[in-house]
Amino acid sequence: MKPSAPSSDPTARPARGLGLHALLTGLSLAMVAPFAWMVLASLKTLPEASDPAWLPQAAQWGNYPEVFRVIPFLRFAANSLVVAGWVTLLQVFTSALAAFSFSRLDWPGRDRVFFLYLGTMMLPGIVMLIPNYEIMVRFGLMDSFLGLVLPSAFSAFGTFLLRQFMLGLPRALDEAAEMDGAGKWQIFWDVILPLSRPGLVTLAIFTFMGNYHSFFWPFVMMKTVDNYTLPVGLLFFDSEHGQATHLLMAAVTMSVVPLILIFVVLQRQLIRGIQIGAVKG
């Protein structure tokens, strides 16, 4: 006689679910904690900013308008928006062109060139700093927005992301367009690009967020205060005005507002683009 299978404990599954929810809640709180501390610190006085207590004794809402009196915040924010916007536009366009070539066109050595191109992702950014700096100096682009934008106008990651997405589009679309007399550019612009919208939006969000708060390259390139981007401009709180931590936190809080708005507005397309790109190719 075979032994009967042990009966499953009906309370085991709810217990596991409760433990998983507790773990995820703890991780979520750990991720939100720095942002919460930043916002609360922005409402403190300068002596309170070094206090380990999280809550301010009285909310100092005047810290926010004080930021605009201490630094040209709007000027720095506008510079960051301009640079991040142009980098995003150029990087999405060039990545889409390269991805179309690597995924939809047949030419000798295509896959070898792609893997070589992909290999540049293994190079740390600091390795390219000196060559890029020397090129910008030779072309007279120091202390200019063009010098900030051009080195970031191409992306191996963006090319890889869009290539994987485009590989999942049926080849029959290209053939049908060619039968209607469409050229390669028309196929790219009128067929492939509209269908790649989720991937384009995903790349655009990643690129904008990565460049809006970029610090090191603008710090190296920019010498004129009026050309400072926002992360570089925030150094004023640590130099000319001492360790004004409460004002620094207020400025940082305001600087992340555009990124939060972008994510809230485009989160569905971002998630959809990531999901589709994960199963394509």
**DSSP per residue over 160-177, as a string?**
HHHHHHHHTS-THHHHHH
In a domain, 225, yes or no: yes
In a domain, 85, yes or no: yes
Q: Do 157 and 238 lie in a common domain?
A: yes
Q: Do 34 and 121 lie in a common domain?
A: no
In a domain, 219, yes or no: yes
Residue 180, number of CB atoms within 10 A of its CB: 9
The model's pTM is: 0.83
> Angle, nearest 10°, between helix axes 197-212 and 73-104?
140
In a domain, 66, yes or no: no
Residue 118 corresponds to which tokens in the numbers above? 């992909």
CATH for 168: 1.10.3720.10
What is the residue whose two structure tokens read 């006085």?
45
Q: Which domain holds residue 44?
A: 15-49
- Over residues 53-76, mean pLDDT: 91
pLDDT tens string 4-29: 555 455 555 677 778 888 888 899 88
Q: Do 23 and 89 lie in a common domain?
A: no
- Looking at the structure of the chain, the number of domains it has is 2
CB 110 within 8 A of CB 173: no
55-59, 137-141, 226-230: least confidently modelled range: 55-59
In a domain, 56, yes or no: no
In a domain, 108, yes or no: yes
Burial tier of 152 (Cβ tally within 10 Å: 0-12, 13-18, 19+): buried
In a domain, 261, yes or no: yes
pLDDT higher than threshold 50 for residue 1: no
Specify the pLDDT at position 243: 74
Q: Do 117 and 218 lie in a common domain?
A: yes
Residue 99, number of CB atoms within 10 A of its CB: 27
pLDDT tens string 160-211: 999 988 988 898 988 899 988 889 999 999 999 998 988 898 899 889 988 9
Q: Is 242 left (phi over 0), alpha (psi -120 to 50) or beta?
A: left
